[in-house]
Structure 1
Amino acid sequence: MREIASGFREYATARRSALRRTAYLMCGDWYLADDLVQDALAKLYVHWRRISAAGEVDPYVRRMLVNGYLATHRRTWRREITTADLPDRATNTNPDDGTRDLLLQALASLQPSQRTIVVLRYWEDLSIEQTAAALGCSTGNVKSQAARGLDHLRAALDSSGVLKGEPA
């Protein structure tokens, strides 16, 4: 049992921050990203012996992140609380994060499935086949959704002047 815990602990320690960044890019919320990673790692721990023996740890965890994100997105309307007062936004002191903010806004405007495909293909650098396997869809779907997502991102960034070299 200690051997299982040790192997899992090593994996979780080595991959947690990368998984958190991937989850953040999917959902756009650091707190939800933490929850998604925690849930995925908890599910992984239960099946660690089988998954690690098969050598399919990263694809399994990615699938759990995707499933968790899409499930959360489907039930978001149940958790949403409307308020009359909007919270103040924190001011950014980083002079270069205007472009980053525009990119994150453009990414957030994608449909959840498109966003997930773009993140897995271009952030996680998965092949079309690996992305299709992670999502349980066809490679044709991955190709078309990735192309549409990139077109949307390109249009959003082009209209803001980022692609023309203008400051954000």
Structure 2
Amino acid sequence: MAFGVISAPAARVRIPGGTRELELLRAGDAEAWSRLFEATHEAVYRAALVQLRDPHLAEDVMGQVYLEAFAGIRRYRDRGKPIVAWLLAIARQRALDALRRRQRELREFPAEPHAPSSSLGGERLDRLFEALAALTPEQREVLHLRFVEDLSLEQTAAVTGRSVGAVKALQHRAIVRLRAALADAERR
């Protein structure tokens, strides 16, 4: 079983591995689930957070991921990819579900505009957040997986269910849009 070591900051932790570990997970072994959670929860949380940009919603999604994984572990098939890729794929789907719900709610109840930041550093941070918000959720997800989680193109493709070429294209378009948005903000 490919629990292995994932080349991402939170996943540099050794993830328990082997067919025996998968058998323990399928049997509902609490210690095996605890080991899996400890090794993967930060990556799952960050993946949800980058999509949602709301810590509370990201925590909710993280909880949903592990509930869904627990319920679906018998259907999990080891295809040579780390189990964290499966968890991140679940996180991606639940985060997209949460985004859809939030968009429906925002259409019904528009939010109040937030007050601008008073500090120069805060203004730069605000511009960065605005530029990131202008990206599509797919572009934000690819940037997060590639540059925050430090996943390879192949790993990012596996997590998102896209081809390597599609991941490269999303990454390129996202970087171009970020550069343009930040350059435009600097000129203002």
Q: Determine the structure 2 residue equivalent to 1:127.
A: 152
Matching residue within 41, 47, 52 for 1:16: 41
Cα 1:90–1:42 shift into 2, 3 Å: farther
Gaps of 5+ in 2: 1-23
Q: Displacement of 1:99 after TM fit?
A: 3.2
Cα 1:78–1:3 shift into 2, 3 Å: closer
Q: Determine the structure 2 residue equivalent to 1:66.
A: 92
Cα 1:47–1:55 shift into 2, 3 Å: farther
Amino acid of the residue matched to residue 147 of structure 1? H
Q: Displacement of 1:65 after TM fit?
A: 1.2
Question: Contact 2:117 / 2:126 at 8 angstroms: preserved in 1?
Answer: no
Amino acid of the residue matched to residue 100 of structure 1? L
Q: Displacement of 1:55 after TM fit?
A: 6.8
In the aligned structure 2, how far is the partner of 1:140 from the partner of 1:64? 22
Question: Contact 1:106 / 1:157 at 8 angstroms: preserved in 2?
Answer: yes
Cα 1:161–1:77 shift into 2, 3 Å: closer
In the aligned structure 2, how far is the partner of 1:56 from the partner of 1:47? 16
**Matching of residue 99 in structure 1 with residue 124 in structure 2:** yes
Question: Contact 1:8 / 1:48 at 8 angstroms: preserved in 2?
Answer: no
In the aligned structure 2, how far is the partner of 1:91 from the partner of 1:158? 19
Cα 1:138–1:110 shift into 2, 3 Å: same
Cα 1:136–1:15 shift into 2, 3 Å: closer
In the aligned structure 1, how far is the partner of 2:56 from the partner of 2:63? 11
Q: Determine the structure 2 residue equivalent to 1:112.
A: 137
My pick for the range that moved more, 100-109 or 121-130, is 100-109
Amino acid of the residue matched to residue 63 of structure 1? A
Q: Determine the structure 1 residue equivalent to 2:70.
A: 45
Q: Displacement of 1:70 after TM fit?
A: 2.2
Q: Displacement of 1:58 after TM fit?
A: 0.9
Q: Determine the structure 1 residue equivalent to 2:170.
A: 145
Deviation per residue, 1:96-118 (Å, 9 max, x gap): 44433332222121111112111
Q: Determine the structure 2 residue equivalent to 1:166.
A: none
In the aligned structure 2, how far is the partner of 1:27 from the partner of 1:70? 8
Q: Displacement of 1:30 after TM fit?
A: 1.4
In the aligned structure 1, how far is the partner of 2:45 from the partner of 2:114? 25
Q: Displacement of 1:86 after TM fit?
A: 2.6
Q: What's the secondary structure of 2:96's corresponding residue?
A: helix
Q: Equivalences for 1:80-95 in 2 at 5 Å?
A: 80=106, 81-82=108-109, 86=112
Q: Determine the structure 1 residue equivalent to 2:9.
A: none
My pick for the range that moved more, 58-67 or 40-49, is 40-49
Gaps of 5+ in 1: 163-168
TM-score (norm 2): 0.69
